[in-house]
Amino acid sequence: IKWTEGRGWHDAELVPYAPLSIDPANMTLHYAQTIFEGLKAYRQPDGTVATFRPQANAERFQASARRMAMPELPTELFIEACDALIKQDSAWVPTSGEASLYLRPFMFASEVGLGVRPANEFLFMVIASPAGAYFPGGVKPVSVWLSEEYVRAVKGGTGAAKTGGNYAASLVAQAQAASHGCDQVVWLDAVEHRWIEEMGGMNLYFVYGDRIVTPELTGSLLPGITRDSLLTIARDLGYTAEEGRISTEDWKRDNENGTLTEVFACGTAAVITPVGSVKSERANWTQGDGEPGEVTMKLRKALLDLQTGHRADTHGWMHPLG
């Protein structure tokens, strides 16, 4: 779907996957006006297909667009575009289980020009890719690297928007995590470098017995849809679920004194991933016994059961393909 200043959204079309031709002066290549989303379509027990909370993705896409001085795509158009592609590709939606069809809606400036200003032409597209189960051999805890050198986002910056530049800026820290033998980077706040924000592509939860806590939305972390869903599902299951502030010292101390029983990360790709060990320039510890915890696995099952149609959708989150 195209957007042109003065004309709005126009010329929606469904076309076979193919490379785009890009002008060397395309504004996106220089000024990075680009945003994206990620969501999944799951096969339901009756053979139909449904997406998980596409409305929430549409709304976050609109918020990202506002922050990046881009036009807002109406929710109905966002969902209609996803639905049209899934219908076309329905044979690619796996027949059952955790596997899904991953959808990647995105938008970028399509105008050609060298001046630094918001573009007047944009292109919105959706592509799809089948996604297997994230842990085909059973859930495996990840190791994380606390990034004390780099920050992902600052207050007033673009941290709460799902925009390409955030990911570009995080790659060096991800590489640093890998060089220390860790799977993922954990971002801290930009001012004191001690408050836990999120992981490279997932939000975090801290489990204190039957109370789960996730870092509050400070404006510099991404408001994950899985994070939001788990606040509700955890309460459905009888846990206390809240937003709060957790520092690196809290994490280390509460793990040592046994009050912090589990830590997990959550996002569309992995749904829920246990965190098994933590490393930084100054510290190195095993989270709990390093194995997936009971609360983590219970929440993971509840959310996946809901997404795959094996648990009642009491919050109206599943969007069936019309």
For ligand PMP, the binding residues (CB under 6 A) are 38, 198, 201-203, 222, 224-227, 267-268
Cβ distance to ligand PMP smaller for residue 113 or 223 = 223
Cβ distance to ligand PMP smaller for residue 31 or 61 = 61
CB atoms within 10 A of CB 85: 19
Cβ distance to ligand PMP smaller for residue 27 or 86 = 86
As measured in angstroms, the least distance from the Cβ of 265 to ligand PMP is 9
Cβ distance to ligand PMP smaller for residue 139 or 266 = 266
As measured in angstroms, the least distance from the Cβ of 179 to ligand PMP is 21
Residue number of the CB atom closest to ligand PMP: 224
- Phi-psi group of 299: left, alpha or beta (phi > 0 → left; psi -120 to 50 → alpha; rest → beta): alpha
Give the contacts of 266 (CB within 8 A, at least 6 positions apart).
202, 203, 204, 205, 224, 226, 227, 230, 272, 273
As measured in angstroms, the least distance from the Cβ of 257 to ligand PMP is 29
Cβ distance to ligand PMP smaller for residue 99 or 119 = 99
- DSSP labels, 77-139: HHHHHHHHHHHHTGGGS-SSTT-EEEEEEEEEE--B--S-S--SEEEEEEEEEEE--S-TTS-
As measured in angstroms, the least distance from the Cβ of 259 to ligand PMP is 26
- Phi-psi group of 97: left, alpha or beta (phi > 0 → left; psi -120 to 50 → alpha; rest → beta): left
As measured in angstroms, the least distance from the Cβ of 230 to ligand PMP is 9
**3-state SS class at 304:** helix
Token representation of residue 58: 């549409």
